[in-house]
Amino acid sequence: MSTDPESNLRTIDEVRFQKLWAGISGRIVEGERITVAVVELEPNGTVPSHQHEHEQMGLVIRGQVTFTVGDETRTFGPGGTWRVPSMTPHGALTGPDGATVVDVFNPTREDWHPAPIDEEVKPRWP
């Protein structure tokens, strides 16, 4: 088991949660040009509409998410995916059990580097 953040080989349970926004914590794995985040979203939570330079793709692995990208909205359970082009407004609502999603960003989410460690959140996946 490696807890070294510079290691190329880790399991997600070796990665500490960071508080990204209110009600949203994630375990971040970063490469030179890509960020992968396993994100825990609280029940009946909201990710307000926002936009960023990063291209984003994602996958629901637990729970329910209603995702809006531009003028398109759809509700997903596990297996639902999204694609967010750079600078496209997007946001999400979670169902009563919250959700766990995997998000992938290019370029890396350097704006998340100073996000504090979140010792309170408990992983719901895996």
The reported pLDDT for the residue numbered 2 is 61
Give the number of other CB atoms < 10 A from CB of residue 67: 23
The reported pLDDT for the residue numbered 1 is 57
pLDDT in tens, 100-114: 999 999 999 999 999
The one-letter amino acid code at 84 reads V
- Is residue 125 in a domain? no
- Is residue 118 in a domain? no
pLDDT in tens, 64-85: 999 999 999 999 999 999 999 9
- Is residue 120 in a domain? no
The number of distinct structural domains making up the chain is 1
Helix, strand, or coil (residue 12): helix
- Is residue 122 in a domain? no
pLDDT in tens, 8-61: 999 999 999 999 988 899 999 999 999 999 999 999 999 999 999 999 999 999
- Is residue 39 in a domain? yes
Q: What is the residue range of 74's domain?
A: 14-112
In DSSP notation, 80-105 reads -EEEE-TT--EEEEEEEEEEEEEEEE
- Is residue 124 in a domain? no
